[in-house]
Amino acid sequence: MKPCVISKKTMKKLAVISDFHGNSPALKAVVKAAGESGYEHYLCCGDYLGYYYEGNKVIDVIRSLPHTAVLGNHDRDFLDFLDGEMQMTDEYKKKYGSALEIAVADVSPENVDWLRSLSSELEVTIENKRILLCHGSPWDMNEYLYPDMPDYKLSEIYALNYHMVIMGHCHYQYVKQDKRQIVLNPGSVGQARDRGGAATWAVVTIEPDNIAVDLMRTEYNIDEVVAQVKLHDPEVLYLQQVMKRGAHGI
C-alpha cells in the first residue's frame, strides 16, 4: 500500500465524510457547516455515486476541496458498468434505482478519470499518526462493519496497529477506542440510515500527543432529493423512505 503524507506541518482539524451517493444538497450542507469551522482537509471514504442522481456534482464539490479520498463499492460498480464489465440488470435497478445508469451519461470525463485514480484503501500520515482510510473493512470494500460488530472483528482491526482506522459503507456513525487506537465510521452524508433529513460526518482533531473525534450531524432539506426519486425511480420506495426515516415518522 502506498502511503500518503498529507502535510508536514501540524494539522489539527479534519472533516471526515463518506457515502455521499449522489446527494448533492446534503454534501453542500456539510461543506457549508465545515467551512464555517475552518477545517484544513477532508478525508473521504468513498461512494460518491449510487442511489441518488447528482453524482457529478458531488465529485465536483469533493475535487474542489483539499481532500484525500478512496473508492467505494458503488463507484467501482459505476466504473465496471462504464467499461462493460458489469450489466445494468432489472434486478439491480429494482434494488438501487437508476442512479448509476444516469451517472454513465452524466459524469464528466475528468471526474471519471478522478475516480479511476482512487485506490480502495490508503494509508495517511498526519503528525506522525498512521491512519488507514478505507470504504468497507480494511480487507474488503464490500464488508459491512456495523456499530455492533463482533469483538473479534474489532480486535482484528486493532491488530493492524494503526493509530486510527476510518471506514464508511454501513451508513451508521460510531467511534470505538482502546488505549492506543481509534476505529471511526463517520456515517453517511447522503443516506444516513438511523434518521432521515440529516447528513452524518465526523471531525478529527490531531495533535502531537492526542487524537480527538467528534461525531457531527447536519440538517438539510430532503425535498429536492425526494422529488428526484419520484421523477426517476417512483417504484423504488426505499429511496424515499430512508430519507424520511425517524424525522418524519417513518
Per-residue HEC secondary structure of 94-122 comes to: HHHCCHHHHHHHHCCHHHHHHHHHCCCEE
Reported as a single tens digit per residue, the pLDDT across 9-49 is: 555 889 999 999 999 999 999 999 998 777 889 999 999 99
pLDDT tens-digit map of 191-249: 999 988 899 999 999 988 889 999 999 999 999 999 999 999 999 999 999 998 865 33
Global pTM? 0.93
Level-2 CATH architecture, domain 3-244: 4-Layer Sandwich (3.60)
